[in-house]
Amino acid sequence: MSLQDCAAALRDHDPDRFGICLMAPAKARPGLMTLYALNLELARAPLASNEPLIAEMRLQWWIERLEDIGAGKPQSHELLTPLAEAWGPRAAAFAALAGARRRDAAREPLEGPEAVAAYVRDTTVALALFAAEALNGTIADPAATAEGRIIAAQAEGVGLAHWLAALPALQGLGLGLWDPSPQVLAQIAARARKKLAEAKAQRRQLPRILAPVLFPGAGLRAVLDAAPKGIEALASAVPSEFRRRFTLGAFSLTHRWWI
């Protein structure tokens, strides 16, 4: 998988992040494209088999290969080779993204709002922090820097909203909630709104170069409004393709990421 192949995979299966890559400076694109392509593969890996053990083995393979990159071992793989070229030993840290998907391999629903938030922090938030690193060359630490805190808050809010939007499909895969009642969904939506407001209040502290990794996507408000009405309402809150493209185009002009 060359950079062109990474771009094609993102364009077909993760168009919003493909758009983010196009907005980034040219020197940051290899890092972003390979990171997002890896995330796409890690999200797919545990769903490729209904057997938890086989799904777990797929994830473990990725973890070991990423650790190999960290140890300086040469790679001969369509994705891992350009990933190693773009990130070097730092790519070993991405094993955490694979580890966070182990729950998906087990096909076990989440217990409630706190478990959903923890899952989003381990996947979406961690991914956003790595993406920010690709853009500005420094590690955005949410525990030590203002930039890291803003990115973490925005990514959690956006990630929770996107998780809610995907919930009708996730329930069918056994990856949703044990209790998908409107009350529980309302709590998740309320947490998302809180995190989005937290990020918005600090927006002036974030450099413009990092704006792309905070892109919220289209229809976020509609999803959060629908959540307290139940899963059926969430299923009808998905934005149209035209709305999605329009929102991404508008963002490319304004870089206004806050909600």
3-class SS at 146?
helix
CA-CA distance, 206 to 210, in Å (whole number)?
7
Q: What is the pLDDT of residue 48?
A: 85
pLDDT of 1 > 80? The answer is no
User: Phi and psi (nearest 5°) for 71?
Assistant: -85, 0
Q: Write the CA distances from 89 to 109, 142, 152, integer angstroms.
A: 34, 22, 24
State the average pLDDT over residues 228-245. 94
d(Cα 66, Cα 77) in Å, to the nearest integer?
Answer: 12
The per-residue pLDDT for range 10-55, each reduced to its tens digit, is: 999 999 999 999 999 999 999 999 999 999 999 999 988 888 899 9
- Residue whose tokens read 């790679």: 75
Give me the pLDDT at residue 15, please. Answer: 94
- Tell me the residue type at 49: S
Q: Which of 102, 158, 170, 110 is nearest to 131 (CA)?
A: 158
Please say if the pLDDT value at position 148 is more than 90: yes
Distance, CA of 95 to CA of 79 (rounded, Å):
15
Query: 143 with 177: CB under 8 angstroms?
Result: no
Boundaries of every domain in the chain: 1-107, 108-259
**In the predicted structure, residue 253 carries a pLDDT above the cut 80:** yes
**Residue 60 burial by Cβ neighbours in a 10 Å radius (0-12, 13-18, 19+):** middle
Percent of the chain with pLDDT over 70: 100
Query: Does residue 78 surpass a pLDDT of 80?
Result: yes
Q: How do residues 85-115 score in pLDDT, each as one tens digit?
A: 999 999 999 999 999 999 899 888 999 999 9
